[in-house]
Each structure stands twice: as C-alpha cells, then as structure tokens.
Amino acid sequence: MKNVKIIGSSHVARESVNEIRKDILLEKPDIVCVELDKNRFVSLFQKQRKLRIGDLKVGGFGALFMIVGRWLQKKLGDQVGIMPGADMKTAVLAAREVKAKIYLIDIPIQKTLFKLSKEVPLWEKLKLVFYIIFSPLSLKNRKLTKHFDLNKVPAQKVIDQIISEMRLRFPKLFKVLLDDRNVYMANQLKKISKDNPDDNIIAVVGAGHEKDINFMLNPKIHNVAKTFIKNSKTGEFLFLYRDNKPSLNHPDTWANVGGGIKKGETPLQALKREVDHEIGVKIYDIKLIEKRIYAVEKFGIRGKKTAYVYIAKTDASLKDIIVMEGPAAKFWALDQVLKQKLYPRTREMILKHRKKLESGK
C-alpha cells in the first residue's frame, strides 16, 4: 500500500512530537489518520474529566485499567514535561495546518475496555495486578528503567522484546490491547486507501502497533538462509544455544547458524553476513543441500517462505568464536547433538540430511 506511511510514536516522547509535526508539515499529506476514537479525540481538546458512573459500564477491570492507565501516563508525562496524548494532538493540529482530512482509526475506547473486563481471565487480571505492584522492585526492571530514555522512541528491537515477553505473560490482555486493535486499524487504513487511491496518507500510531500494521498493509515474509558449519579438523558441527527467554520461539535449545535474507541480498550473501554477525568466523566450501518452500500464516495473511540450507567448513576452533547472539556455542558430533534439546527444524534437517552432512558431499 504505497500511499500510506506509518509513523510509530512513543506517546510521552518529545522526540515523537517533534518528528510527527516535522513529517506532516514537510510532506503535506492529503489525509492524516490518528490512533484515536471519537471520545479520545474530543478529550484531547478538553480538560480531563473525572470518572463518571457511566464509565463503570465497561466493567470493573476495564474501569480500573482506565484509571491506572491515566495515572501512569500522567506520571510518565510529568517526568519528561509532555502531556499524555501530545503526539496525537500534535498530529491533529499539524493536519489542520496543511488542510489535510483527519480520520480516527482506533476501536472505540469503551468497547476495548469492555472486552478487557469480559475476555481477560481472572488469573491473568490478578497476575497483572501483582506485576504492576512488584515489577518495579525487580532488579531487571530497575536496570531497564535506568537505561530507558523516555524522551525518545525505543528501537524496534527493544519494542519487539518488550511486546514478546509481555504477550507471553498476559496473552489475552495483549490480544485485546494490541492484536485486535492492530487488525481494526489496518482494516481502516486499507479502506481509506482504497477510497482515496490518489491521496497521500500519513497514519500516526503507537510504536508498539507500527510493525504489525505495516505487515498487514504490506505483507512481506522474509526468506531464511541457514548452515551447518563443520570443523575441518574434528568433523564436529557448530551449534548456537538459544537463550532461555520465553519471548523466543523454542527457547533453551541448540540450533544451527543463520537468519533472515534482507532485501537485495542473495541467500549466500545473507548467510555470510549472518555467520559473521553471529559468530565472527570465516566459512568456506559452502554447498546448498536443500531449498525448502513452506506455508506460513500471520494475522490471517497466508504466504510462502523459502529456507536455504547449506553445509560449510571452518578452520576456527571454539576459542576463535565470538558469540554475538545467544549465551553459548559448541561443536558437537551429530550423534551427540541429537541427544540434546534441539530447535525442531534443526533436528528435522539433521535427520533428513545426515549422510550429506557427515560426508560433506
């Protein structure tokens, strides 16, 4: 969807406010879409009202979530001198300056809060309450907060890590707050784009929404290049240990080396880049042993992914390896590594190509 540009915003970051205004005034879009519904739009330009009895119609948990959310946003905003919602307000005001049409693309807040009350199970609600109370006391979170700059939008890698870990802790909560709204906003943008094919559109959404909405508007499934690296002296193969982090697919497993193929790269170029990045060693005698195409699905969008599987050699020993991803690396004989906890696709590839791996042909 070439006529839609997504701007990811950190709602209390001064950097976001400045970038949003700069982009809209510079690009002068025909349409500006904001992550707001009618009620939140109106409240941006009015003094924040107190909680009313009617707000309790969203359910006890939804009302509590709204109160805590307001308090937290205000507290964070006070720390950086930015009022909560300043990013969306800036987008609206900048849109008016360039005479752009304004579209509100988010689910009505009352509906989201009601779904929180009804769809999030009791155990997850209690878990969230304990997390809010006790997580600031944990050493890990204190260290994270110390190095977290509220004035800037976090890097995508940091956003992905936080979302992955929190989604695992609170799956239903994140479905309502993130996934359902992402699908709704993406559908809204698709309709607006379809109805206005010649217009330039800027959409301002929270940074946590940006990646998935972009994917739904412009589905791109990245192919991968993987290799089994054989030590030229011992005949053993190098495997990397995946962190025991719940946010990873199949954590606490051993896997072969490799990763995604970037735009403009050949599979072989991607493989060499990934090897250099992950372990910092030279490989040679690289041979393709399999090209596999398999179906994948994300947010109801189906596609095909190609995996290129190689075998390569290295003269490096374990002491020469600098592990950049994961906590450890180790050379294993195939019969030994098959007794370990392996990443499922790695195990599948070893069993399928064991003769080729051992012979090197």
Q: Indicate whether 21 pLDDT > 90.
A: yes
What is the pLDDT at residue 139?
47
Q: What is the pTM of this model?
A: 0.68
Three-state SS at 303: strand
What is the pLDDT at residue 70?
67
> Which phi and psi angles does 297 have, rounded to 5°?
-145, 135
What is the pLDDT at residue 28?
96
Q: Indicate whether 325 pLDDT > 90.
A: no
In this predicted model, which residue has the larger pLDDT, 57 or 252? 252
Helix axes 60-80, 109-119, angle to 10 degrees: 120
pLDDT band for position 9 (50/70/90)?
confident
Q: Indicate whether 309 pLDDT > 90.
A: yes
Q: Nearest CA to 214 among 156, 151, 293, 294?
A: 156
pLDDT band for position 76 (50/70/90)?
low
How far is Cα 200 from Cα 196, in angstroms, rounded to an integer?
8
**pLDDT one-digit tens code per residue, 106-165:** 999 889 888 888 898 989 888 888 887 766 545 455 544 554 555 555 566 566 667 767
Three-state SS at 267: helix
How far is Cα 101 from Cα 282, in angstroms, rounded to an integer?
55
pLDDT band for position 67 (50/70/90)?
low
What strand order describes the sheet that includes 201-206?
Answer: 4-9, 201-206, 31-34, 101-104
* Region for 56 from its dihedrals, namely left if φ exceeds 0, alpha if ψ lies in -120 to 50, beta otherwise: alpha
For tokens 């992955």, name the residue. 164
**pLDDT one-digit tens code per residue, 164-196:** 677 778 889 888 988 899 999 999 999 999 999
For 64, the token pair is: 């509590």
Q: Indicate whether 307 pLDDT > 60.
A: yes
Complete domains list, the chain, with CATH: 4-217 (no CATH), 224-359 (3.90.79.10)
